[in-house]
A and B are shown apart, each in its own frame.
Chain A
Amino acid sequence: MPAIGQEQAVAFLIDSTCEVFETMILRSLTQGVPIEGDALRPRSNVVATVSFAGAESGIVAFYSTKDAACEIAGALLGMNPAAVYGDMPDAIGEVTNMIAGALRTKMTDAGSPCAMSIPTVTVGSDFYTKYVSDVRRVLCPFKMGEQEVFVELIRQKR
């Protein structure tokens, strides 16, 4: 079965991200231009990933600053962003899970079924993530009000 084309896969990811933010977080996102490759790394303190495997394999990654992550978590949990810090990682993990889940549904409907892992969330500073397999990466930037968030699709090359 042929893999989904890169352009279509990225469109699926962008649609999934906007859908999650509009329905669950009640925030509209302004989409930026997707960036192919791994030269540009977003400035972030929170990184969440969900892996998928099946007809193809890869990772969906979500990046944000702590402030943006707390704003997102506050909207999800009905709390003041300043009070969510302990709950923020779980909330961001769930956001990434929902984005990846919506992507999975779209990929499955397009003929590329896959299963997903549970989310992993990393919070900190001065770190980078590296993927050992030969992968193709596309980073999708979004503006959420004054904040920036990024979602990345990492697909294992066939």
Chain B
Amino acid sequence: MRRIIINTLNKLGFTDVVEASNGREGLDRLAANPVDLIITDWNMPEMTGIEFIRSLRGNEKLPQVPVLMITSNAAKDDIVEALRAGVTNYVVKPFTSDTMREKIESVLAG
């Protein structure tokens, strides 16, 4: 999914992308690389998306940037859990490039 999302971002003109293979690596990279937006999946190795977001939101030393969660979990309870954990918005798989663009613009607009 990471490669798929990067391909979509590149097609939308977002070429300056920092990748991480799991949540722990993502937290480490965030400490070293300032970003405007984080995109995370729900199911990931080592640390789930929810665990990643809780770790991020619970660490004041990390920049509190907007987070977009990509998920196949469209059930209401799952979405509520994600928003409570600190997700800014979410994109349900499968998604079109237009949907991704709209969600990114919405999140970045604050």
Can you list, as one digit per residue, whether each of A67-107 has a CB less than 8 Å from chain B (1) or not (0)? 00000000011100000000100110010011011101100
In the assembled complex, the CB of A86 is this many whole angstroms from the nearest CB of chain B, namely 11
29 A-B contacts, Cβ less than 8 Å apart? A19-B94, A23-B95, A24-B4, A24-B93, A24-B94, A24-B96, A76-B3, A76-B4, A76-B7, A77-B3, A77-B4, A78-B7, A78-B10, A78-B11, A87-B3, A91-B4, A94-B1, A94-B4, A98-B94, A100-B72, A101-B72, A101-B73, A102-B93, A102-B94, A104-B72, A105-B72, A105-B92, A108-B75, A118-B43
Asked whether A24 lies within 8 Å of B72 as measured between CB atoms, the reply is: no
Residue of B nearest to A21 (CB): B94
How many A residues are at the interface, by size bracket? Answer: 20 to 34
Which residues of A pack against B, CB within 8 Å? 19-20, 23-24, 76-78, 87, 90-91, 94, 97-98, 100-102, 104-105, 108, 113, 116, 118
In the assembled complex, the CB of B100 is this many whole angstroms from the nearest CB of chain A, namely 10
Asked whether A20 lies within 8 Å of B4 as measured between CB atoms, the reply is: no
Q: What chain B residues lie within 8 Å of A24 (beta carbons)?
A: 4, 93-96
B31 part of interface (Cβ distance < 8 Å): no
Asked whether B96 lies within 8 Å of A23 as measured between CB atoms, the reply is: yes
Q: What chain A residues lie within 8 Å of B11 (beta carbons)?
A: 78
